[in-house]
Amino acid sequence: MDRLLVLVRHGQSEWNLKNLFTGWKDPGLTENGVAEARKGGRLLKAAGLSFDITYTSVLSRAQVTLDLMLEEMGVPLAGEGSLPRIADAALNERDYGDLSGLNKDDARKKWGEEQVHAWRRSYDTPPPGGESLKDTGARVWPYYLTHILPDVMGGKRVLVSAHGNSLRSLAMVLDRLTPEEVVKLEIATGVPLVYRLNADTRVASKIILE
């Protein structure tokens, strides 16, 4: 049994490029983001990987990234040969609350470098009206345990297209990272993280396709 789980962060979004806090806002991909997503699909195909089911957030940048990867893999998006797709807000990006849509440099001018750094890089300090990384994990982890993990352990090959912080939350569990370690983790856009799990649900292997 393969027990394959692949995680991919969406390609670069328009707001990534503009250095804006994005969160649950829904900007599209840049040309570079489209290219990153397509490259991710080609890397998956070149690695000989195929899938039985896909998961994504409800945000378009993750869904479009998934579409582009599947196209590059030669998988139809509808009809015969297409894959089941489950979209759920549990996999959404961290909600940045009042910071959403603001330029990160402008936020530093308004609240100070130290405060903005705490909101961005601490584990459990949420921005006003938003979520900390710990809060994000509190919705991602139960969803993983009740939906994604059972599919993987049942032998389905699973592809997840989501976001930097929702995937950091998953990586925290999979890679057994401490709160101090996970805040330093960077997940590149469009780069597949290929996990294979043991029968006890622990990670047997992890490969980054670049």
Which residues carry out catalysis?
10, 93
Q: Which two tokens stand for residue 39?
A: 């490259």
Question: Cβ distance 189 to 11 under 8 Å?
Answer: yes
Write down the residue that tokens 């939906």 correspond to.
147
CA atoms within 13 A on the CB side of 194: 16
Residue 65 · residue 188 · CB < 8 Å? no
Buried-state track 89-115, b at ≥16 Cβ within 10 A, e below 16: ebbbbbbbbebbebeeeebbeebeeee
Q: Which residue has the tokens 């000989």?
A: 48
Query: How far apart (Å, rounded) are the C-alpha atoms in residues 32 and 197?
Result: 32
H or E element in which residue 158 lies: strand 158-162
What is the distance between the alpha carbons of residues 37 and 68, in angstroms, rounded to a whole number?
6
